[in-house]
Amino acid sequence: MKYAFALIPLAVFAFVAQPAQAQGRIWRCGNSNYTNDEAQAKAHNCKLVEGGNVTVVQGTKVNGAGKDVRVATAPQSAGSGGQKVDSADQKARDGDARAILESELKKAEARQGDLVREYNSGEPEMLGPEHRNHQKYLDRIAELKAAIDRNENDIAGLKRELGRSSGTASK
């Protein structure tokens, strides 16, 4: 009986020391699908994963998904599949993009006006707690100045984008 406890560490060591079973070949199909079925991988033009092991954690099945694992192929985007967009559709998209940019520019310019008014040439009105703590006042001035600078950069970027979109629209 006294030797039984001495054998337990040996059994644990023997179990741990056994080599791990080699994982079969794994193919990656798309961005998030993997398979170990070679026929399925060939059918979907999957790429062999080399170097290191792949661990795939199964999630919960949504809407009664089937029991077999299927590899979904990603739809081709308009630019990569060689498909051309109709010129009328493209003009409509460009017009929508320009309208969005103009709307964002108006918002940024309105925000800039509010910030400049609040900044008041570096001397904004003191708020309640700032009367007792001058450092809070100085911190708020610095934050306002930084916000004005960021907003100026945003406005400049929006104007550059609008300039690019008007340059391509005239061609």
State the pairing for strand pair 47-48/27-29: antiparallel
CA distance 158 to 46: 42
Q: What share of the chain is helix, strand, coil (3-state, %, to 5)?
A: 55, 5, 40
Encoded tokens for 160: 């550059």
Ordered by start, the domain boundaries in the chain are 11-48, 87-169
Q: Report H helices in 18-86.
A: 38-43
What pLDDT does residue 73 have?
Answer: 47
What pLDDT does residue 9 have?
Answer: 52
Encoded tokens for 91: 């003009």
Kindly tell me the sign of the dihedral angle through the C-alpha atoms of 3, 6, 11, 14: negative
What pLDDT does residue 70 have?
Answer: 52
What pLDDT does residue 41 have?
Answer: 83
For 55, phi and psi rounded to 5 degrees? -115, 120
Mean pLDDT of the chain: 77
What pLDDT does residue 13 have?
Answer: 47
What pLDDT does residue 76 have?
Answer: 47
Residues of the chain with pLDDT under 70: 1-23, 32, 51-82, 167-171
CA–centroid distance for 46 within its chain: 24
110-158 pLDDT, tens per residue?
Answer: 999 999 999 999 899 999 999 999 999 999 999 999 999 999 999 999 9
CA distance 170 to 166: 6
pTM over 0.75: no
Give yes or no for a contact between 109 and 148, defined as CB atoms under 8 angstroms apart.
no
Radius of gyration of the chain (CA): 32
